[in-house]
């Protein structure tokens, strides 16, 4: 008995008194209570250890923890050691010298999460805990290897797991700003998506791919902010009536070109491998119609006309290894622009830079032949046209408020080519306020006496239709036009100043002012072509007019 009394006294001084009250982790409090009961029970056990060995069932029961969490390592008449393993594999050894307190081991509240979420109320040591899992069924999951300081945290105040969105508020709570694995559930992408951190694409080493299967994307992160997933491709669409398409004001009956930009979202490069884009409309024929890829502009395009005033359209693009995407848009055609109207143009000063004519520079080929032979001989040669001339360059100017014929300006506005406008050229030297209407390539042939059958006739040169342009306040459409320079460059449209058949003096050739690539690869603001006398060494004088937006 004397030994028991001595040990009893030792036990009460080796186990530090009460745990922290209401804020203590229940896991800590439960372990504390059973560890204390165990130490007290061992006092009585020492008197009968030969009979009971490690079996204390006659002396105590583990009322706050599970009995299978306890393992007797050793016990005899003078000492003992028990091993406690928590639900989270926290291991403690209880012996006569063991001291413990639940002070500073506050409850971590994980309510608001479900599924595989760690039961944080059963954690013993919240200031340093490993392998924390938070899950929101149907939305996602976060796993931290740790260790983490969870003491006193209410996790739902810090962590958000919702549809395709995971966030940890590390600016207020730095405890959870450490490496973790994130799983986002319910994604519908057929191809492996990309991850965004704070709205920007996140790549290695900050974000590392682990797996993507059945709509669940799992990836590792080095720390926290917010994360979401998106497709590995991007799609943009517009038409010629949109600002990106030049706000050309196409109307019913006009040809309208539609564009699609299908790109790798990470590199920004166009997707072309195994790629295709189709377009459909709510006006017959509805399609789908295949769009054409233009390598020069790196865009997909399709052109057609409509009779309606508002057309709904949809583009679907796909490529090998990339997400299939589709977008819808509406083309407002409004009231058709008029094929004629009243225009006002201002004269434009010209600064001559250079002029040159193409010379083939091809030496005469030769063939040696013996009498009586007939030789098949293919030939190749180039020749400069005598029916057409071209102008190109830059445009400068200002918008002003002033009295007639007065250089004293009440106010001036800066203008640049990006503001837009039109350049027109004509043999007529006195255009100001005049009637204007759409003209045709055939009318060019008639005015300049070109044969329509020659390869560089007006009919064969201005062979594109339905040019729409606002010329000095007249909103026009239906003119024939010719493209010049590289694809997507400049277009020269032909108009006339009479309602009937025009003479030379009645025709003008116009182009939109913009910042673009010229035929020679240089940058310029306009590029226009016009007919000339076909006879060698004869000349045509053109006068330049401008309208600045």
271 and 349 in a single domain? The answer is: no
405 and 539 in a single domain? The answer is: yes
- CATH classification at residue 311: 2.60.40
Which residues of 271-344 form beta strands (DSSP E)? 276-281, 289-290, 292-294, 299-305, 310-319, 322-332, 340-344
Looking at the 3D structure of the chain, how many domains does it have? 4
346 and 430 in a single domain? The answer is: yes
349 and 324 in a single domain? The answer is: no
- Does the pTM surpass 0.85? The reply is no
Residues contacting 472, CB < 8 A, separation 6+: 343, 344, 345, 422, 436, 547
- The verdict on residue 239 lying in a domain is no
- CATH classification at residue 151: 3.30.1610.10
- The verdict on residue 375 lying in a domain is no
Question: In 279-434, which residue ranges form alpha helices assigned H by DSSP?
Answer: none
DSSP bridge pairs for 524: 516
Q: What is the pLDDT of residue 20?
A: 35
151 and 281 in a single domain? The answer is: no
75 and 11 in a single domain? The answer is: yes
Q: What is the pLDDT of residue 49?
A: 62
Q: What is the pLDDT of residue 101?
A: 85
Give whole-number Cα distances, 94 to 3, 64, 123, 283, 332, in Å: 20, 16, 18, 82, 81
- Token pair for residue 385? 């046209």
- The verdict on residue 237 lying in a domain is no
Q: What is the pLDDT of residue 45?
A: 67
- The verdict on residue 303 lying in a domain is yes
Pairing verdict, β 523-524 and 516-517 = antiparallel
- The verdict on residue 168 lying in a domain is yes
DSSP bridge pairs for 482: 492
Distance, in Å, from the CA atom of 490 to the CA atom of 492, rounded to the nearest integer, reads 7
391 and 524 in a single domain? The answer is: yes
Q: What is the pLDDT of residue 58?
A: 64
Q: What is the pLDDT of residue 363?
A: 79
Q: What is the pLDDT of residue 386?
A: 86
pLDDT digits (tens, 9 = 90+) for 293-331: 999 999 999 999 988 888 999 999 999 999 999 999 999
Residues (pLDDT < 50) of the chain are 1-22, 335-336
Last residue of a domain, one of 230, 247, 275: 230
Domain that holds residue 21: 2-94
Q: What is the pLDDT of residue 12?
A: 31
Phi, psi of 149 (to 5 degrees): -90, 105
184 and 302 in a single domain? The answer is: no
200 and 59 in a single domain? The answer is: no
The DSSP 8-state label assigned to residue 166 in this structure reads: E
192 and 295 in a single domain? The answer is: no
278 and 392 in a single domain? The answer is: no
- The verdict on residue 362 lying in a domain is no
The DSSP 8-state label assigned to residue 506 in this structure reads: G
Distance, in Å, from the CA atom of 194 to the CA atom of 231, rounded to the nearest integer, reads 6
- The verdict on residue 244 lying in a domain is no
- Helical (H) or strand (E) element with 141: strand 140-144
- The verdict on residue 235 lying in a domain is no
Last residue of a domain, one of 59, 94, 129: 94
Q: What is the pLDDT of residue 10?
A: 30
Distance, in Å, from the CA atom of 75 to the CA atom of 55, rounded to the nearest integer, reads 10
Give, in degrees to the nearest 5, the angle at Cα 103 between 97 and 104. 125
Distance, in Å, from the CA atom of 116 to the CA atom of 138, rounded to the nearest integer, reads 12
Last residue of a domain, one of 60, 94, 128: 94
124 and 267 in a single domain? The answer is: no
Question: What sign does the CA torsion over 463, 465, 471, 476 have?
Answer: positive
Q: What is the pLDDT of residue 413?
A: 86
SS3 assignment for 225-240: CEEEEECCEEEEEEEC
- Token pair for residue 518? 């010229």
How many angstroms from the chain centroid is the CA of residue 295?
20
């Amino acid at each position: 008995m004397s030994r028991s009394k001595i040990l009893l006294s030792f036990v009460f001084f080796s186990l530090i008194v009460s745990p922290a009250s209401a804020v203590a982790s229940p896991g800590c409090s439960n372990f504390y209570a059973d560890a204390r009961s165990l130490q007290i029970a061992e006092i009585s056990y020492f008197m009968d250890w030969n009979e009971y060995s490690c079996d204390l069932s006659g002396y105590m029961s583990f009322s706050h923890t599970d009995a299978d969490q306890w393992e007797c390592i050793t016990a005899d008449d003078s000492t003992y050691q028990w091993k406690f393993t928590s639900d989270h594999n926290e291991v403690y050894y209880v012996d006569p010298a063991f001291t413990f307190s639940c002070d500073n081991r506050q409850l971590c509240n994980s309510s608001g999460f479900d599924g595989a979420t760690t039961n944080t109320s059963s954690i013993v040591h919240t200031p340093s805990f490993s392998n924390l899992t938070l899950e929101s069924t149907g939305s996602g999951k976060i796993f931290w290897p740790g260790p983490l300081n969870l003491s006193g945290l209410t996790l739902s105040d810090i962590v958000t797991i919702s549809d395709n969105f995971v966030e940890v508020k590390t600016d207020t709570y730095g405890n959870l700003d450490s490496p973790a694995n994130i799983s986002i559930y319910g994604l519908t992408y057929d191809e492996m998506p990309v991850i965004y951190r704070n709205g920007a694409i996140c790549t290695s080493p900050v974000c590392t791919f682990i797996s993507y299967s059945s709509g669940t994307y799992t990836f590792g992160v080095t720390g926290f902010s917010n994360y979401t997933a998106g497709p590995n491709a991007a799609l943009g669409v517009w038409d010629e009536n949109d600002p990106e398409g030049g706000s050309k004001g196409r109307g019913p009956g006009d040809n309208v070109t539609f564009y699609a930009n299908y790109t790798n979202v990470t590199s920004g490069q166009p997707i072309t491998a195994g790629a295709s884009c189709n377009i459909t409309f709510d006006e017959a024929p509805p399609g789908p119609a295949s769009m054409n890829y233009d390598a020069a502009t790196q865009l997909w395009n399709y052109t057609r006309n409509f009779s309606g005033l508002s057309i709904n359209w949809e583009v679907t693009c796909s490529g090998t290894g990339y997400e299939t995407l589709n977008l819808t848009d509406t083309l407002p055609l409004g009231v058709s622009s008029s094929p004629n109207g009243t225009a006002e143009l201002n004269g434009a000063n010209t600064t001559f830079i250079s002029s040159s004519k193409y010379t083939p520079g091809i030496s005469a080929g030769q063939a040696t032949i013996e009498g009586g032979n007939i030789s098949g001989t293919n030939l190749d040669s180039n020749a400069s046209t005598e029916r057409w001339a071209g102008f190109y360059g830059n445009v400068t100017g200002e918008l002003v408020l002033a009295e007639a014929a007065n250089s004293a300006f009440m106010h001036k506005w800066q203008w640049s080519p990006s503001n837009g406008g039109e350049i027109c050229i004509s043999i007529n030297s006195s255009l100001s306020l005049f009637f204007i209407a759409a003209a045709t390539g055939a009318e060019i042939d008639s005015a300049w006496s070109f044969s329509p059958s020659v390869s560089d006739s007006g009919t064969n040169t201005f062979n594109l239709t339905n040019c729409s342009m606002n010329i000095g306040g007249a909103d026009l459409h239906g003119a024939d036009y010719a493209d010049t320079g590289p694809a997507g460059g400049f277009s020269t449209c032909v108009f006339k100043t009479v309602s009937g058949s025009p003479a030379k003096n009645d025709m003008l050739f116009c182009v939109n002012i913009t910042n673009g690539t010229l035929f020679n690869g240089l940058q310029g603001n306009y590029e226009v072509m016009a007919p000339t006398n076909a006879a060698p060494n004869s000349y045509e004088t053109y006068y330049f007019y401008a309208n600045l937006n």
